[in-house]
Amino acid sequence: MIVLLIPLLLQIQIALPQRSELVNPAAHSPVPKKLLKDYDKLWQRFVTATDDQKVFKELDKMSSKDADFVPALIVESYIDLYAGRRANAEEKFRTVLARHPDDPVALFYLAEFSYERNDFVKAAELYSRLLSGTNPFGPTVEMKSQRSFLLALDSLVQSARRAASENRPDEVAKLYNQALALAPEKTASRSQLAELFLGKPDGGVRGASENGVAGSNTQETEKAERERWGDQIERFREIRHSESLTREQLAALLASYFPELGKSGEGPVITDIEDSWAKTAILSVVKAELLDCMGNHAFQPSRTLTRSEFAGVISRLTRFLGLSPEMAAPIRPLDVVPDSALSAELQPVLSYRLMSLDNSGNFNVSANVSGEEAVNIAEKLLGLLQKNGR
């Protein structure tokens, strides 16, 4: 459904379109009447690539006469881009934005530069500002904005976890506040962000001090794990440190975190789990229709899961648990066919921010899932249930 109008929107490294496809800055920044005729001629010469050096000099003269003449500065930036002078172009776009904070062209290219160097926090902020005003760059900006937000939030959360593990509560507080300021309209409440930062759904972060944010409470976590896993605590630790999650491990993880799975009705006959330590858990997830058996009634406990398989299980789990789908624009991974069955299955896990895309905007459907990631997602799901009073 999304038309790829401008290729550079979908790439980490900015690829310049044909000049005729560029946004004429005069459409969004007024040109003084006395300069309009000359500017139009220079714009046409630029579009046809007729002597950029002379066009640049003429535009520079216009800028010297009127320091607030934004279109001239932006076209100079375009020329810098096509000449490979990226740093010069970025500096000019920053100058434009300092004078006109809502200029859509400057916002767009500065967002692209930030995305290119993996500064997703800044990119998300700039894309959000662009979408709050005039957006002449087409519908793919919304997708890029969502992707930047998810990547930025994931980066902040991971940094906060590292800071918490190193007992740096001030740094956690700083990162938490960055997340709050990033795009507050994209989150239901402060508590939703607090949960993402390993916290409780009351708006404070786990082990919260008086200022609302502090490091993780290791003893509390270990106690909760022992209560949940009992004499299988070593199995849990094995799962958490697994580089590639198996179907057996996922079944055990989900049955432990969500005991309501065991209340499902009758399930099919399973032929290859008699010797599995997770037999009861496997029966529970199969009965709940989260994981299927093969055609020969075999479950294949030791087979590892791909990210797409894992995401499908988590998506079905959100429905089983009665979580309402997030009413947001679809997030379109570049390596998934739009409007396919897989694309639909990914939406709950992406909209709830349980899983995210990589820096290139791919979901990496065939990659493995680590035990650590699976445990973190189970924790996040528990937080969502608590927030919804379940």
Shared-domain flag, residues 358 and 247: yes
Boundary of a domain, candidates 119, 139, 159: 139
Shared-domain flag, residues 240 and 131: no
Instruction: Report long-range pairs for 188-194 (Cβ below 8 Å, ≥24 apart).
Output: 188/387, 191/387, 192/387
pLDDT score for 10: 36
What is the sign of the dihedral through the CA atoms of 183, 188, 191 and 196? negative
Domain extent for 328: 235-387
- Chain position carrying tokens 């500002």: 129
Q: How many CB atoms lie within 10 A of CB 357?
A: 23
Boundary of a domain, candidates 109, 139, 169: 139
pLDDT score for 386: 78
Spatial separation of the C-alpha atoms in residues 97 and 106, rounded to whole Å: 6
Residues of the chain with pLDDT under 70: 1-15, 183-221, 264-267, 325-329, 359, 388-390
Amino acid at 199: G
- Residue 319 placed within a domain: yes
pLDDT score for 197: 61
- Residue 37 placed within a domain: yes
- Residue 115 placed within a domain: yes
Boundary of a domain, candidates 117, 139, 161: 139
pTM, full prediction: 0.50
pLDDT score for 367: 92
pLDDT score for 209: 37
- Residue 191 placed within a domain: no
- Residue 162 placed within a domain: no
Structure tokens at 53: 């050096």
Shared-domain flag, residues 266 and 135: no
- Residue 222 placed within a domain: no
- Residue 265 placed within a domain: yes
pLDDT score for 357: 85
Shared-domain flag, residues 253 and 134: no
pLDDT score for 201: 42
pLDDT score for 356: 85
CB neighbours of 58 closer than 8 A, spacing ≥ 6? 38, 42
Spatial separation of the C-alpha atoms in residues 116 and 252, rounded to whole Å: 40
**How many structural domains are present in the chain?**
2
CATH number of the domain that residue 114 is part of: 1.25.40.10
Shared-domain flag, residues 114 and 243: no
Helix (H, G, I), strand (E, B) or coil at 156: helix
Spatial separation of the C-alpha atoms in residues 350 and 16, rounded to whole Å: 29
- Residue 178 placed within a domain: no
Shared-domain flag, residues 107 and 249: no
